[in-house]
Structure formats: C-alpha cells, structure tokens
C-alpha cells in the first residue's frame, strides 16, 4: 500500500508541474500509432523537471477564439466600456501582486493606460523575492512579456512569460548561476508551482484578449506587493538575497507608478 501511495503522489506532482511546461502540444493525426516517440534527455533529471504527462493537443488558438471570443467580448466589453477604452484595445499590461493575490488588467488604445478590472490569483507558490534558480518554487519578479499561448494546457489555458528575461540572465551570469529555471505560465485551475493560477474563467478572458491584440502587445509586471501602498524593499529578516534586488524593485516601482491612480470603488475582482 505504501508503494501505491508513493506512485499516486508522484503522478499528482507530475500533473501539477505539467501546468508550467512550455512544450508545444503534439499535433495528432488519425493514425496515432504512426507517431514516433521523441527521445528525451534524462540527464540530471530532478523532481522539478519531470517531463509532464500531456494529452495529445487538438485545439488551436483560433479554435479558442471561435469558441470563447463572443462570450469574452460580452464580459470584458462591460469593463472596457466603463473605462472608456475600445475593445479590443491596442495594448494591455498585467500587474501581478503576490502579497495581495491580485492581477490587474490595464489597457489603452490611442490614449494613456486605464484600469479595466482585476482578478484574484488563486495560487502562487513561494515568497516575496525574485526567482533565482530551477526548483526554488518562486514566482519571478520583474518586467516580462507573453511569448507563447498554449490552448492545450492541462490547466485549461496558459500563457507563457519570457522568464528568464535579459535582466535575470545578466545578473545570473554575474553571479555564476546557470540553472535559472523556465516554463513560467499564467494559467487556469487553482494550483501551481512557480506560476500564477487564475482559475478557468479568468484565464479564458486573459487568453482571448491576448490572442486578439497579439502577444507582442501585452506586458506583464510581477511585484512582491503593491508599491503604491508602501515601498518595495528587501525585508530585514531575509536570510539570502542578491544585492541587485533594490535595483529590480526600483524598476518595478517606476513601471507601476507610471500608471494613473485607481479609485477603490473601481476594483472589480472576481
């Protein structure tokens, strides 16, 4: 019975990690048996990079837009109209606040950015502070872009961010860190390791919006907490933190501080 319990536990963890996998879904044909398995590199494999169990991919981004596009337009259209921003907009910015467990959606067309709405972050592992290495269970902190949409995620839908970005890579090279980790997603469902789990309804809206305006037009800012409430700083009791964190927090604070103030009555989380 103990062996069976261990197997079940490993399978459960494997499924969870699969949500943050950046592998593209396999395109299937009618003759599934004819698909040749691809060799896998098992060198230095750890519990944090177990190849995910993935169902054959069948959906395309176009399928998602056709299936959910009208519904999302009806739901988000209300918030965009209230903010006086055309839907879909020209650009969007997502502000993820770890401590508050909120993700804010900002957008603009020809004018400045306006607050559209916010969502609850249902799960995000780790603590305040940037992601430094593979397996540290941290959600990254910094300024990122969406680089890939996955319509076949085990966690409904997912959007991959470009971690590690240039800032992460530069400081890792300065410190001799080589295994920075990867495959960080904003996705559906309610569980995650190192990613942002938003729930299925929220990711549906975010995924469709991003697909409509283009991944190149969506910025993602991830902060330990809201710097508009109190300044970002390294906590005094932090045992280990890089000396460049104040620089990172200054960049994040400027990015968020450039947005206009949000009235509390405008907050509209799920």
Residue 43, pLDDT above cutoff 50: no
Judge whether 20 counts as a catalytic residue.
no
Burial class of residue 51, CB neighbours in 10 A (0-12, 13-18, 19+): middle
Q: Is residue 48 part of a domain?
A: no
Angstrom distance (rounded) from CA 266 to CA 269:
10
Q: How does pLDDT run across 200-226, given as a tens digit for each residue?
A: 999 999 999 999 999 999 999 999 999
Cis peptide before 65 (omega within 30 of 0): no
Q: Is residue 117 part of a domain?
A: yes
Q: Is residue 28 part of a domain?
A: no
Q: Is residue 10 part of a domain?
A: no
Q: Is residue 12 part of a domain?
A: no
Q: Is residue 199 part of a domain?
A: yes
Q: How many domains does the chain have?
A: 1
Q: Is residue 33 part of a domain?
A: no
Domain around 129:
59-266
Strand-pair category, 114-120 with 91-97: unpaired
Q: Is residue 116 part of a domain?
A: yes
Q: What is the CATH number of the domain that holds 237?
A: 2.40.440.10
Judge whether 187 counts as a catalytic residue.
yes
Q: Edge to edge, what strands does the sheet with 102-108 contain? A: 114-120, 102-108, 91-97, 218-223, 142-150, 158-161, 185-187, 196-197
Residue 38, pLDDT above cutoff 80: no
The structure's pTM equals 0.78
pLDDT band per the 50, 70, 90 thresholds, residue 51: very low
């Amino acid at each position: 019975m103990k062996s069976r319990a261990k197997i079940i536990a490993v399978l459960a963890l494997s499924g969870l990690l699969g949500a943050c996998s950046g592998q593209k879904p396999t395109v299937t044909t009618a003759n599934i048996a004819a698909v040749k398995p691809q060799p896998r590199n098992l060198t230095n494999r750890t519990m944090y990079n177990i190849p995910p169990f993935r169902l054959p991919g069948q959906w395309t981004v176009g399928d998602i837009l056709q299936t959910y596009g009208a519904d999302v337009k009806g739901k988000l259209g209300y918030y965009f109209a209230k903010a006086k921003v055309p839907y879909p907009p020209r650009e969007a910015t997502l502000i993820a606040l770890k401590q508050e467990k909120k993700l804010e959606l900002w957008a603009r067309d020809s004018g400045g950015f306006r607050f559209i709405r916010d969502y609850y972050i249902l799960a995000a592992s780790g603590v305040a502070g940037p992601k430094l290495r593979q397996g540290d269970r941290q959600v990254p902190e910094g300024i990122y872009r969406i680089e890939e949409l996955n319509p076949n995620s085990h966690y409904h839908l997912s959007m991959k961010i470009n971690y590690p970005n240039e800032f992460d890579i530069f400081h890792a090279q300065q410190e001799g860190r080589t295994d920075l980790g990867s495959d960080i997603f904003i996705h559906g469902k309610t569980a995650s390791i190192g990613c942002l789990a938003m729930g299925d309804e929220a990711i549906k809206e975010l995924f469709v919006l991003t697909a409509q305006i283009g991944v190149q037009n969506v910025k993602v800012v991830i902060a330990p907490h809201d710097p508009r409430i109190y300044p970002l700083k390294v906590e005094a009791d932090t045992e280990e933190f890089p000396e460049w964190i104040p620089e990172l927090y200054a960049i994040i604070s400027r990015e968020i501080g450039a947005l206009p103030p949000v009235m509390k009555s405008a907050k509209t989380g799920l």
